[in-house]
Amino acid sequence: MNIVLRLIARPALAVTWLSLFAATALPGLAVHADELKLAHWMSPRHTMHAKVMEPWAQEIMKMSNGALTVKIYPGGALGKGPVAQFQRAVDGVADITFGLPGFTSSQFLRTGVIELPNVAVDGPDGTNKLWAVLDKQLASEWSRVKVLGLWLGEPQVLLMRSKPVRKVADLQGVKIRTPSKTQANTIAALGATPVPMPINQVYNALSTGVIDGALTGASTLRSFKLGEVVKYITVGLPLGRSPFFLVMNKKSWDGLSPEEKTLIDKTTGRGLSLKASQVYEDEYASIIAAARKSGSPEVITFSPEESKQADAMLKATRDKLADDLEKQGVPAKEILAAMGVKG
């Protein structure tokens, strides 16, 4: 009887056995007793699953003495494809989802300011800059969910199928996969043709020659096996970085007890975000070091002269894109200033 009363009082949280008779009566509602569903589209071997989500789930179980658990559904088990991850959290398809705001850039124009070139010094720096503006300048974009994590990934690199990029001129006319509108505009400013595409489609696009290269993190050489289909990596350009989110359905959050909310807050937020960002930094360093040692793929770094030219072009690109955002009603300059980014 106590269990029934507890579940009636908490209709927004998903439960395994209750869903057998309640799911049809409550379509679209994330119902649960003690288990939160966390959905993502990647393999369980992905570094974010293995080094961020799994440890967090274990921490929740330990700190709650098993009263609250997080069950992770990888590989698109609760919905295929990465693009709809944010909406799945909004709709309660899962209690918690992981994804990239860049995949639906039009929803996150303010958040996308962090992706501009020469904004983040590194991942943790960019993560702190995001949290510095989250409650004020970015709040409207995240109002439909409870933000558990918001962090910046590793440096963006150019993974090239067969054509090396050793200077800016090598980018003229080549087709480069891009993860967001902001980064598409950035790569276009250097002369390449951007091809928007979620990361799970990049392997086939590279292997078949649909694209010449991909703008992404070096960790994808392992996590999405892109090392099998690229010969060159160009590193060191301040091309911007991709932000990632971990968000929770509002009804699921509201249905938690005060003690459970305290536990979630204590183990997420800026602290979890900085940890996740550092995981990406470490993964990047490990992969680039291994590639340099093996020679496959070949790691390319621009010469000082080429780097200077690229930096100047990217600085001008950042200023132009900020101006374009202002014309769309996005206070990009205010956001940059609040992040501590100087002109």
Q: Per-residue pLDDT for 297 more than 50?
A: yes
Rounded Cα distance, 57 and 69, in Å: 7
**Mean pLDDT of all residues in the chain?**
90
At residue 16, the pLDDT reads: 36
Average pLDDT over residues 13-28: 36
- Token output for 248: 């929770």
Whether residue 196 is found in the same domain as residue 329 = yes
Q: Report if residue 45 sits inside a domain.
A: yes
Chain segment 180-216, per-residue pLDDT in tens: 999 999 999 999 999 999 999 999 999 999 999 999 9
Chain segment 100-153, per-residue pLDDT in tens: 999 999 999 999 999 999 999 999 999 999 999 999 999 999 999 999 999 999
What does pTM read for this prediction? 0.87
Whether residue 271 is found in the same domain as residue 235 = no
CATH code where residue 231 lies: 3.40.190.170
Q: Report if residue 112 sits inside a domain.
A: no
Beta bridge partners of 216: 157
Chain segment 66-113, per-residue pLDDT in tens: 999 999 999 999 999 899 999 999 999 999 999 999 999 999 999 999
Which residue shows structure tokens 């490990």? 286
Whether residue 249 is found in the same domain as residue 227 = no
At residue 250, the pLDDT reads: 98
Q: Which domain, by its residues, includes 208?
A: 156-241+287-339
At residue 215, the pLDDT reads: 97
Whether residue 147 is found in the same domain as residue 257 = yes
Long-range CB contact pairs, 171-175, < 8 A, 24+ = 174/212, 174/213, 175/210, 175/211, 175/212, 175/213
Q: Report if residue 271 sits inside a domain.
A: yes
Domain count, the chain: 2
Whether residue 185 is found in the same domain as residue 139 = no
> Do you know the residue count of the chain?
343
Query: What Cα–Cα distance (Å) separates residue 167 from each residue in 158, 176, 191, 299?
Result: 12, 15, 11, 13
Is the previous residue joined to 297 through a cis bond, with omega within 30 degrees of 0?
yes
Cβ–Cβ under 8 Å, residues 187 and 242: no
